[in-house]
């Protein structure tokens, strides 16, 4: 399936003709769905939850209860979803890709894989961005790269956790530019961005949707994005690709359940997200937060995961000796 990534304001037109326009009024499994989040409150997963859950509550007629289980770059929560959660549709998790797969690609001790999940829907695809404090001496991304060249291994770059998209973005930039950073992992995007705002690190590799509010408030300053083209909400921020560095990366965030949930529960959850994709109020709210809505459901979401898995297996094989 070909994926088309569009701003939230346009996504509706790309998908409306392809999906059913209504979900069941009430969820047949439970009146309360527990949502496992593998990161601290305030990061990308939580931002998605705060955006989507009020609309999903209205569609499904259920309450959503977030449970934050930070640690091991999300692996603790996803192991619990795969191996310790009821398979009845009452527990789901926000699944962050490619981190969901890169956890076990780079660490054989991680005891789950994507075949142990029922993918429900990807919701957001969020390009990567380099941000620095407002008073940073690095006015451009070239300044940052020059400092890294002159001080190998000493320029500190925050990321959302070992194995995450920000971590891999750092490695990809190092290889493309020919520099080495000191990689500083945090337990999610939020803590990494906060450390950058406080000047505790030189820069943070984040996702645009997570730090866009800080950029608008001028508490963080963007240097470059990891996208194919410049972003409409950040038109003055260059892409690394236009500067000659082939680095395009980001994070997708969606929802999955354990493998083996009843077909009826799966179908009702998928229908809810397909209805969400046509909700104009939701799409406007997403655009205000600089979230790129990229809803891919069911088997299409599993295909998306499988393609990412193959891509990052190849990337890790190339870079693991230098990581």
CATH number of the domain encompassing residue 18: 3.40.190.150
What global pTM score does this model have? Answer: 0.78
Helices (H) and strands (E) in the chain, counts: 11, 10
Q: What is the pLDDT of residue 315?
A: 85
Q: Strand locations in 135-187, DSSP E?
A: 156-159, 182-185
Q: Using DSSP bridges, classify how beta strands 63-68 and 32-37 pair: parallel, antiparallel or unpaired.
A: parallel
Are residues 166 and 236 both part of a single domain?
Answer: yes
Are residues 225 and 215 both part of a single domain?
Answer: yes
Q: What is the pLDDT of residue 25?
A: 58
Q: What is the pLDDT of residue 73?
A: 86
Are residues 20 and 76 both part of a single domain?
Answer: yes
Q: What is the pLDDT of residue 187?
A: 82
Mean pLDDT, consecutive 10-residue stretches, the chain (323 aa), reads 38 35 70 96 91 98 97 94 98 96 94 97 95 97 98 96 88 94 90 96 94 96 95 95 94 97 98 97 93 95 95 86 67
Closest CA to 164 of 217, 216, 100: 100
The tokens describing 158, both together, are 């925050």
Are residues 178 and 238 both part of a single domain?
Answer: yes
What is the H or E stretch that residue 65 is in? strand 63-68
Q: 94: which residues sit within 8 A by CB, 6+ positions away?
A: 35, 36, 37, 38, 45, 48, 49, 253, 254, 255
Are residues 138 and 52 both part of a single domain?
Answer: no
* Domain count along the chain: 2
The tokens describing 88, both together, are 């009845």
Q: What is the pLDDT of residue 19?
A: 37
Domain containing 203 equals 127-243
């Amino acid at each position: 399936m070909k994926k088309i990534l569009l701003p939230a304001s346009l996504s509706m037109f790309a998908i409306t003709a392809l999906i059913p326009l209504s979900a069941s009024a009430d969820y047949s499994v439970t009146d309360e769905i527990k949502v496992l989040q593998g990161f601290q409150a305030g990061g990308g997963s939580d931002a998605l939850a705060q955006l989507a859950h009020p609309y999903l509550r209205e569609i499904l007629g259920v309450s959503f209860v977030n449970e934050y289980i930070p640690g091991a770059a999300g692996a603790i929560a996803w192991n619990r979803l795969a191996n310790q959660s009821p398979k009845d549709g009452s527990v789901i998790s926000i699944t962050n890709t490619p981190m969901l797969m890169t956890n076990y690609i780079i660490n054989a001790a991680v005891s789950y894989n994507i075949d142990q999940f029922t993918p429900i829907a990807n919701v957001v695809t969020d390009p990567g961005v380099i941000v620095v404090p407002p008073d940073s001496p690095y006015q451009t991304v070239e300044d940052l790269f020059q400092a890294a060249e002159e001080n190998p291994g000493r320029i500190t770059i925050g990321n959302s956790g070992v194995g995450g998209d920000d971590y891999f973005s750092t490695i990809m930039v190092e290889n493309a530019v020919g520099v080495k950073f000191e990689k500083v992992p945090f337990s999610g995007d939020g803590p990494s961005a906060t450390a950058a705002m406080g000047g505790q690190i030189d820069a943070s590799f984040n996702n645009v949707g997570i730090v866009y509010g800080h950029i608008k408030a001028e508490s963080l300053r963007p240097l470059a994005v990891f996208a194919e083209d410049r972003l409409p909400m950040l038109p003055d921020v260059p892409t690394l690709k236009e500067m000659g560095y082939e680095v395009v990366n980001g994070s997708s965030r969606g929802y999955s359940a354990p493998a083996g949930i009843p077909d009826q529960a799966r179908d009702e959850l998928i229908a809810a997200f397909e209805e969400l994709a046509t909700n104009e109020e939701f799409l406007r709210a997403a655009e205000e937060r600089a979230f790129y809505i990229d809803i891919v459901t069911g088997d299409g979401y599993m295909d998306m995961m499988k393609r990412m898995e193959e891509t990052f297996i190849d990337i890790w094989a190339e870079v693991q000796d230098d990581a």
